[in-house]
Each structure stands twice: as C-alpha cells, then as structure tokens.
A and B are shown apart, each in its own frame.
Chain A
Amino acid sequence: MLLIYCPYCEEERSELEFRNGGDAHIARPTNMAEISDEEFEAYFFLRDNPKGVIFERWRHVHGCGRFFNAARDTISDRFLTTYKAGEPKPDLNEKPKTGAEVETYEALEGAAQ
C-alpha cells in the first residue's frame, strides 16, 4: 500500500485515502467543439503508459477532497514529488520542496490578516 504526500494536507497518508485520476497535464481543449477527430483521439484516448516516471493525478478523496499531481516511478512505485493542481510540471532534477516551502492556503490566509 502506497504512502502518498498530499500537498494540501501536507502529510503522508495511506493510499486508502486516495483515488488515482490518470495522467496529469492533459489540458482539455478550450475549443472543444471544433477540434478534429485526431485531436480528440490524442486528447481522450491515447496515453503513454511509461515504464519509469509518470506524471499522474490523485485525489485525496477521503481527506481534503483535492486533486493534485504526482511524479511516480512506475517501476519502484516511488513518488518523486507531489504538487498542487495547476502548478507546472516540476523539474525532477531539482531538490524536491519540503512541506514548509510549499505555499499553503493557511499561509496565504495568515498573510492576508
């Protein structure tokens, strides 16, 4: 059973609390109605299924309910990093951020006061 760091809760929690959401960084076309069959095929059907690092979505469904992204090695199942939805694909050669460095909702709330 995997141990997954939720970037919103800032805690490692058991896989039981999460649900996998498939590949990350696949943006839904804004002109959806106009795209060609080939573009739709690429967007909806085609996935790489890599042996190695995969960027994928997870939802902390039995926790905060948020979607976030993760880089996971499909060979070892080791998580290289997790990061919030909407953040760009991280450079995996960079030292991963620790919890304290991640910009949090709570930190932003505090700053506003």
Chain B
Amino acid sequence: MSGVNRISGAGRLTPARSARFTFDGRTLTALEGDTVASALIANDIHLVGRSFKYHRPRGILSAGAEEPNALLDVARDAARRQPNVRATVQEVFDGMKVSSQNRWPSLAFDIGGFNDLLSPFFAAGFYYKTFMWPKAAWHKLYEPFIRRAAGLGVAPTEADPDHYSSRYVHCDVLVVGAGIAGLAAALAAAKAGAKVILCDEQPGVGGALHYDSGTVIDGKPGYDWAQATGKALAAMDNVTLLTRTTAFGYYNHNFVGLVERVTDHLASPEKSLPRERLWQVRAKKVILANGAIERHMVFANNDRPGIMLASAGRTYLNHFGVAVGKRVGVYTAHDSAYEAAFDLKKAGVTVAAIVDCREKPGEAVLAKARELGIEVLAGHSVVNTTGKLRIASINVARNGGGASRKIAVDALLVSAGWTPSVHLFSQSRGKVKFDASTERFLPGTYAQECLSVGACNGTDDLQATIDEALAAGELAARAAGAEGGAQVTLTGRNAFEWTGGMHGAAEGAGADTTVKAFIDFQHDVCAKDIRLAVREGMHSIEHIKRFTTNGMASDQGKLSNMHGLAIAAEALGKEIPAVGLTTFRQPYTPVTFGTIVSHSRGSLFDPARKTPMHAWEEAHGAEFEDVGNWKRAWFYPQAGEDMHEAVARECKTVRDVAGVFDASTLGKIEVVGPDAAKFLNLMYTNAWDNLKPGRCRYGIMLREDGFIYDDGVVGRMAEDRFHVTTTTGGAPRVLQHMEDYLQTEFPHLKVWLTSTTEQWAVIAVQGPKAREIIAPLVEGIDLSNGAFPHMSVAEGKICGVPTRLFRMSFTGELGFEVNVPADYGQAVWEAIWARAEPMGACAYGTETMHVLRAEKGYIIVGQDTDGTVTPHDAGLSWAVSKKKPDFVGIRGLTRPDLVKEGRKQLVGLLTKDPKVVLEEGAQIVADPNEPKPMTMLGHVTSSYWSSNCGRSIALALVAGGQARLGQTLYVPMADRTIAVEVSDMVFFDKEGGRLHG
C-alpha cells in the first residue's frame, strides 16, 4: 500500500510500480512518479518542517516550484545530499533518504518553537534594532546565534562526486512552459518549420492540466491532448523537448539559461550521465508561456500543516491519486477553488464547507456546488484555525462580525486567485503594467524579442489562450525566418469560467498587531509586519521589502509579493501601481553551484600554463608557484633543505659560479614594420631611433596618466624588427595596449604586432661562469666582451637549433638569455645543464631571481609599483627621453600631482639589526611614538634575506624617500617596532662591474 490517503482509481500513476524511501528515518512507500510531497501526503504526513524565524510547524503548501514551506534535505548517499530541496518538485526514487530541517530535537517537538512565544521580540526589523549594542557582542553572541537559529538546511561536508555538463545552443523559437499555451505555441512554430526548443520544469508536459479535470482540447481530455501533443512534438526533427528543465534566467539579447535535471529522479543513474545540464540558449524569439501561480488566503494562523493551495489539492488528487485529507474545507476568494471541492467530493472525500469571502461567487460554480450538496458560506471568512501539528478546525464568521462557527477539518484548501508569472518577462527588462480591472501586473513594454501567451499574459479564456498561443508561435517562427507551410487550428473548452480574486489580508487577518496572518511563509512575514514597516516610515516597496524581508527568501515571494504589495498600498492609502512592484531577478528557482560551475572544476577551473622545461623542473624537485596562469619553478630544494636554505644556496651559487633559470614565461611581442621604431617611440618613454640592430635597451611603458604600466628589455633584431619582452603577468594587457594605440590612434604607422610568448623558450644563464657554460654550444656568435657586450642581441645557433641570444641580466651578473623555439626548449636546457652542473652551477627559481634582482635594486612592476608610481618615483628618470615630442604618458608626467614635492619614492631600507627581515606590505612611520592614527609614510614593497650581502635587504615606497637617504625610520609591527635606515636601492656590486665580466 502506497499510503492511506491514496484513492484507488484516482490519479495517473501506476499502482504496481512502487518505490521505498525514508522520511526522518521512517520507511515509506511511494509510487513511481510521486513527488516527495505527494508521497508524504499519501502517507498522511503534512508536517514536514519548522519555519525560519518562529519555528512554527509547517506543511506542504503547493504542488510546484513556488513551494515556500516544504524544504527538505534529500540524500542519495553521504556525499550526494542536498539541503533545501522543495518536496513538491523532487521526484521520489527508490532508496532516497529525506530529512526535515530546522528542528531540534525532533520535528514534532522542537525547542526552537519557543521563538513563537517570544515573537513580540522578533517583529519585523528586529535585526536592525535588537542587536545594536553592545557592539562587542555582535561577533561573539548575536551573529553566531542568528546564524544558528536562522539556518534552514545544512550544507553537505563532502565533495560533490557528481558531474555536470553544459552546452550552448541556438534556436529560432524558445518556448518556456509546456502547458496549454506553450504546447500550442510550440506546435504552431514547429509546423511553420522553425527550430524550436520547448522546456518545462515538470517531469511531463501539461502544466495546469496536471490538476485539471474538466478541460477538453481537440476533442480529448486536456491532459491526454497534452501528452499526445508532447509526443508528436518530441518526434519532430526541428523540435527539442526538454522536461525537468527550468528556464531560470532571461539575460541580454535573448540569452536564456535552462537547467535540466537529468538524474535526480533515478534510483541508479548511469555513471556517464551528468546530474544536471546547463543549456545556454540563444533564441531568435522567445515565447513565454509560464502560466500563473495561485495565491494563498491571508488570515489568522493560516500556516498550519494541512492548509494548502486549492490547485495543489487538485493536483494531488487528479494527478497523484492522493486525497489531502478526509474532511476538507475550502476557503477562497476565487471560483477555481470550487473545482477542487467538486473533484474531492466526486472522489468520495468529505467537503466540510466552501467558505467564500465574496458576497457573490461565480454563478456556475455556485450552482454546481449546490447540485453536489456542498455547503457554501458566501460572504464569510475564516477568522482563525486550530490544531497543533495539523489543522483541526476553522472558525468561520460572517463578514462584518458576529458569532463564529467552528468547523472541524483535517485539511483546508485556499485560493485568493492567480498571479500571472511575469518573472522571466521582468528579467528580460520588460516593463509590467497594472491591469486595474483584474488587479494584475501584466507584461507591458517588451525590451527583448519575446512574447507572452496564456495565463502569464493575463489571458483567461481557454480558446483565447489557444488562439493567442498559435498566433504567437507562427509569428515568432516567421520572424525567425521559418518558411514552412502548415497552419494549426485547435479548439478547446473548459468546465467553468472563473471569476474573483483578492490581494492582501482577508477579514480575520485584522488590523490587529498580534495576529499571525502569514504572507511570506519562508521568511515568516505576517500582514502586521508590513503595516509595522509602513508605521515606521517605510514608504517605498523596496524599503518595505528589505525591512520585513518579505519576498527575499529563496522562493522570491512567488506567493507573497502581491499580498505584501496590497497590504502596503492599503496602509499607505495608495493604489497598488503607485506603490510599485519590486524587480524579479535571476534565477527563477534556486540553481545548484554544480550546474553553474559545470566542467570548470579542479584542473579545468583555470587551466595551468606550463613552460617547455616544466617536466625537467618537476623531475629535479622544483617547488612551483603560480604567476598568473603559469606554473613557475620557485626554488629547487635539495635533500634536507627548507625554502630559506635552498634560496640562500641558489643565490650564493649564482654569484659565485652561475645559475640556470627558466624565463620562458616572460611576455614576448614581435614588433615588425617600417615604422616599428616610430611606434615604440610612442609606446615607451625611451628613445628607440638610436638603438642599433643587435643592441637591446630596458624600456618603460606608461599609461596616458604617467604611471608605470609595464617594463622590459627590447632587442632590435633589424631596422624594422624588434623583439619586445614584457612582464610575465603583463603580456596580454601590453599587447592590448599596443594594439589599441596602433589601431585607433596611430593607424597611419605601418607596424604589425604578434604575440610570441609561447613560441620562444627562454633559458637565462647568469653568473661569472655563464659564458664558459654556453660558449661551446653556440655557433655563429662571437661571445667575447668586445664583440658581444652587455645589452647585445644576435641570431645564431645553439646545439644546432636557431637562437636569439641576448646578453642581458636581471641578476647583475654576466648573463645570457637563450631564446630557442619552444619545442627545443627542454633539449637545449638539458644540454646547458650538462655543462653547468659539473662546474658547480645550479638551477634556480623565481624566489632566487627576486632576491638577486632586489640586491641590485631592479624593480618588479606590480610588486614595487602599484599603478600610482612614475618613472621618477621609481628612480628611473634616466629612462625617460627628454627629446621626444610625444609618447604615451608624456603629458600625464607633468600633471601637478605628479611633479609635487613629497611623492612616494622607491628607496632601499636597511634594518638596524641586519638579521631582521621586514614584512612586505608593512607600513613605515617617522615617529614610532606618535599617537594613533599615525602618519604613514609608505610601505615595504620587497624584502628578503640576502645571503650575498649577509643581511636583510628591502625596497620601499616612502614619501619624499630620495631626500631621506641616511634617515632612520620605523616599521611598527604587532609585537615590536623595527628601526630602519633609508638607503639607495643597490645593495650589491654598487659599481656594476660584474655585468661586464
């Protein structure tokens, strides 16, 4: 037996196909096709959770995506566990474990329920008032308390073992929603020959026909027509039908995000299947057919388990074959709820009464109710309910007062009417308009290529919906260029025309300030809270929303927005449209991070760039550091060495013997053309006309505002060809910067730019023995000091392969940078290493490179500069040409602030205690005893232990630094103050003789 409330012969599930699952440890039986909600109700379970703020017992309110209450924890196994799953959309599979949330120690007895008694202290906005003081209590007391108390689900602790996929797809017409309107629109578009995608969040097509019992389309019962139409559409080559697929976001230019739930309904999914699939759809036309959402009635204690939307009660009966109770009441302001009573009555369920707050219900439904012998109390309201963990009775009173009558019920179906679902339309930046006659917000001005049809467009009549949808489908298809022939006509009729509907509090919610008449179930917002917000001075709906948190839960107020708005409008004495509607944001329903992230996890999150020598470096024990996306060898620890020891050894070895360094990640741009020198004159501060082929120069690139943007050595290979190097991290933006000026400001220059970063492997050989190491391997280049002095470049061969050989140095030593085509990088490296190692040289990494360059006062752009440093600040005035009439940044350099006295300038710092190494980023002050806030002169940019100097060294940006040489300054740290002396930036080989060795 799949539950005591299952009615044999009712519903569309197959009784023979059952599935077992657990709810809070109790094993229950469901039928295949059940949602968790329908299976729980079948087993007579309505109590499924505790509310967010007051911990009130809560039940299942809806049968769809709008569910605010029934949020459960659903697990396949320990790692595959998801909190806050809506029981109304999660399908049951065999072996699933379901748990309630936000309760302790148990669902039926929850300590947090105490909050309900304390509710006077938890009024709207209490966060803003109660927890103001004392300030120190916030971190220790209030925030942890609120976080613990406010949490609904608990996130899983294990990594997600599932995989997710994503795909891009283009189509002519995307139809969102496969109810009557969506199916008709898709059919018309498809028959016209358009490439159509039709998606629906439910497992099957049909939309509202899931609950319907009286609609006939094309001569068939509505639901049967929908299934047949869905099948026909799915069989068409030009149609993609996606069920269990939610269109969650409508973005710019008809870009719509869909999430398809692929395996969450399967007991044992194939391993190859993704759990969810993200469809990124670009549609020429979008047809929105996402229907309407039924509103609940707002009255005192309207949140007891067993109270649910009338359409939900119908869905559970007509689709799942489950009665929501044995004695069901109906409370409504709309005709649609009557049909729920009719269906229940016909299925043998007792209908206690229909309470209708309207004086005049629709005549047709009223007549039918009489015919079926159902008591209708028109002009009456439910003024209160009883029942601790499940509704037990309703108190009904004549509108305007008088004695109330108690009616026993075990379920209550409610309906205040239907809210057109304009979420996606609003996301598309369309402007809604208020239809005063029906009191609904409907699509008004469209911002994108889309059309709304059916209930979401405010079209009520069935035939009008069908005609509107068919016309829209064909129109969209034609507009997208489809030229197919067939036109579609369909006829439909439904059992009753519906009238009625209301917003805001019904009688019985009262103007009382203590009655709990809930509008937002998920955030426990009551009608009184909205009134309180207005009394406290909130006049804009945006403020009211934030003060009360109405509509701010994960259901985004699908049920509560219109109620909240109507109550606010009434309290403010304004019309609804004058108060305004808040904007709907993506996503329509919550989307898992897994879906958004998709394949971009682990090694695919941010692909690593590796140099041609990476494998060798790995094999030789290098530790790596990330520089941009590059993996760079950081240092090469030998047995027993820590980082400090390894770097100290490498630094000594390079200066005493030599070192080999992988510099392949440096950005490289080939600048070619008759105007190449002219172009570089404009891009760099230096002059390039007078650089002879075969020579190199250190260049500084500025932005137009005069600040350093990048630097690097540029070699002139020929009159019309330069080999430009950039910083590792700067390569793409430097090329962008150059392209920008070349294409848009200096298009008259004949220059071509090519990124060659990955084409060249670069091996730096630095140190006194550098020449001896490479000389026997090099052909065609005279390496002697006379023929090939510091800052030279030549083309020749090394190890038989072509090379661009630079004589240059970022260490202050005799040095070469061997550029070879990337594919030869590792072979040439190994050949150089075979000579270097026996001489006592070492391989060194980026950390040693940093120390060695700091010993020489060579800056690193981005470490010693921060986008506010000029060449003059950095002590590089010599690199700024005074003769050129123009270069990028020339005018910026003369801005008043950039020539002002007292700018922060780059200097060296020597700690008074040579053993103390400063912390990079530490602040510098002149007077360590100055009361806080102290006057900060600048900060340490680079700081290292220098084994070659036998002491610590540092670079720092200090206000007026160049005038402070020799002064003592202080670096205050948490535990001590460090005295430092300002020095020049060269700590080693001040004369620079080693460069020319």
Contacts and interface: CB of A to CB of B under 8 A. Distances in A.
Nearest to A77: B252
Given A32-B886, A33-B885, A40 B891 contact: yes
A3 B253 CA distance: 6
Given A40-B892, A44-B705, A76-B447, A21 B740 contact: yes
Interface string B891-911: 110011000000000000000
A19 B736 CA distance: 10
Interface stretch (B24-32, B601-609, B662-670, B741-749): B741-749
A85 B255 contact: no
A102 interface: no
Interface stretch (A47-55, A58-66, A89-97, A105-113): A58-66
Contact of B896 (A2, A37, A44, A61): A37
Contacts of B891: 32-33, 35, 40
B247 to A, nearest CB: 15
A37 B895 contact: yes
B858 to A, nearest CB: 29
A57 B705 CA distance: 20
A18 interface: no
Interface residues of A, number: 26
B732 to A, nearest CB: 9
A59 B733 CA distance: 13
A52 B736 CA distance: 28
A27 B447 CA distance: 33
A59 B895 contact: no
B390 interface: no
A44 B891 CA distance: 10
B434 interface: no
A15 B255 CA distance: 11
B282 interface: yes
Contact of B890 (A14, A33, A86): A33
A44 to B, nearest CB: 6
Interface in A62-102: 65-67, 76-78, 85-86
Q: Range of interface residues on chain B?
A: 20 to 34
B252 A44 contact: no
A59 B739 CA distance: 10
Nearest to B168: A14
B704 interface: yes
B652 interface: no
Contacts of B252: 1-3, 15, 77
Interface string A3-37: 10000000000110001010000011000110101
A65 B739 contact: yes
**Which of A27, A32, A86 has the most C-beta atoms of chain B within 10 angstroms of its own C-beta?**
A32
B736 A3 contact: no
A77 B885 contact: no
A67 B253 contact: no
Contact of B740 (A3, A59, A76, A77): A59
Contacts of A28: 704, 745
Contact of A57 (B251, B429, B744, B747): B744
A77 B253 contact: yes
A1 B886 contact: no
Given A44-B704, A61-B736, A85 B744 contact: yes
A67 B895 contact: no
Interface in B183-234: none
Contacts of B282: 3, 14
Contacts of A35: 891
Interface hub of A14, A15, A28, A59 (most chain B Cβ within 10 A): A28
A67 B744 contact: yes
Given A3-B282, A19-B736, A37-B895, A66 B743 contact: yes
B702 to A, nearest CB: 12
Q: Which 3 A-B pairs have the closest CB atoms?
A: A3-B253, A67-B743, A1-B255
Given A15-B252, A32-B886, A32-B890, 15 more contacts: A1-B253, A1-B255, A3-B255, A28-B704, A32-B891, A33-B886, A33-B890, A35-B891, A44-B704, A59-B740, A66-B743, A67-B743, A76-B429, A77-B253, A86-B744
